[in-house]
Structure 1
Amino acid sequence: MSAARPGLRRLRSAAGSGGSQTQGRPGVPRQSRRRKSVAIAYEAGQGEGAEPRRARWEPPRWREQLQHIRDMRSSRDAPVDEMGVQTCYDSSAPPEVMRYQVLLALMLSSQTKDQVTSAAMLRLRRRGLSVDSVLQMDDETLGQIIYPVGFWRNKVKYIKQTTAILKQKYGGDIPSTVEELVQLPGVGPKMAHLAMHIAWDSVAGIAVDTHVHRISNRLKWVKKETKSPEETRVALEEWLPRDLWKEINWLLVGFGQQTCLPVKPRCSQCLNQDICPAATRL
């Protein structure tokens, strides 16, 4: 094996096989006995003499920690379970209306408690919440309905702008990719990934909010401390098995609402108390 090309081995094909041709003379076999080296790539750790496969990084005891969180969340009685976005839309509505309601609930939920978002969505739905009904609504009326969600004035503007785009560009439906969703006014990565999960039943990435961001850093589920939810999403997706991506959001959000609080976390009530890197200093 060449030290300069780890993971590659060279197989040599005999000259005169009929495939080699002399430059400038098509069809004339080479007369030389020189052999030509052909590089064959294979997976690291495969083949004779290959270096062992390097193990993917993962945090110590994370499976045990995750199972403990599942156990603590088994009752599903956190605010996110009872009043989260997945409960805010009309499941009997036409699919495109349902998806629009999911996106609207996500836009309202930013920096807003689930209880407040749920109440605002209920008021909107009582008016027949759809793309057309929102476009026909003036800004003042929309503001009165969604108040007191966080930053409600900005959200009125974003909702009207996004709804107009959905009507003009998507026929009243919502985009079906994260790339398109984040181009809508007022829609960030977390909302986009949750919209894919809930509205399209598609897992394009991990939805990371402040709870997931905070808990992932406390448990050291990231190689190094991350400064934003988006950094945390990228760090988690590097090692967390894909079949857990959809589950991790609702698990950690509810856990963060009930036990691993932003201030004064209830470590004494946590099953991870003895294996949490942050428990001794919180």
Structure 2
Amino acid sequence: MKQHLIVLDLDGTLLTDDKIISPYTKNILAKAREAGHQVMIATGRPFRASRLYYQELDLTTPIVNFNGAFIHHPLNQSWGVMHSPISMKVVYDVVDSVDKFHYENLIAEVIDDVYLHNKNDELMSVFNMGNPRVTTGNLKLNLHEDPTSLLIQANEQNVPIIRKHLEDVHAELIEHRKWGAPFPIIEIVRKGLSKAVGVSKIAHEFEIPRDRIIAFGDEDNDLEMIDYAGIGVAMSNGIDELKSVANEITVSNNEDGIGKFLVDRLGL
């Protein structure tokens, strides 16, 4: 069988709800690699929070982090790095404009540095994987470098209101997506960025055409990637909007959806 590029989202897709890779799916992905297919990760997480799974799968491919804002090869520095941060001016404008809405917190990340607007130990439990350097306090006073991403934590009722405002006022400069868990969070990256941008670059490097890209996802930040892939696969636990653009739907992240799909599709 011709070589395929297998693209894995992490949370809600490759990882079970317990944040582990099931032994079955891990074994199937190893078999896929033995059969000559390429396996890669495309995630909204920073690399420090995805390194564990990259190493567990023994991957040797480039990785897409921050939903396409950071594309790199952990094992090959000469491959190059694509880091596409948001300008601080845009971030400050966004922060000023959302002040009139109720939000819980603001978080900016510059690769492995985390800037927390308001101190929150529960929230930091999500961001402290990989031991980042953390600065707490007013973003406009502490952030002095263009961030890779900006996050707005808000309650479920206010998330759509804030997103509509971002679309109405800042659509020409940013992309924004929603996290469903563990907290309602709006993630903002520079305009034009998505997981699909990174997947396209990496597929080109491997000379693998779109029709042989199999991408798995479950959330809002997977939409462009699932639509771009020749075989876009939504998890059954995924959002309805993603299922509507996917070519296929597999069983959930807790039921080895990735492993079972690859066994059927690639004859593993």
TM-score, scaled relative to structure 2: 0.29
Give the structure with the larger strand fraction: 2
Give the structure with the larger helix fraction: 1
**Quick check: which has more Rg, 1 or 2?**
1
Answer 1 or 2: higher relative contact order, Cα 8 Å, separation at least 6: 2
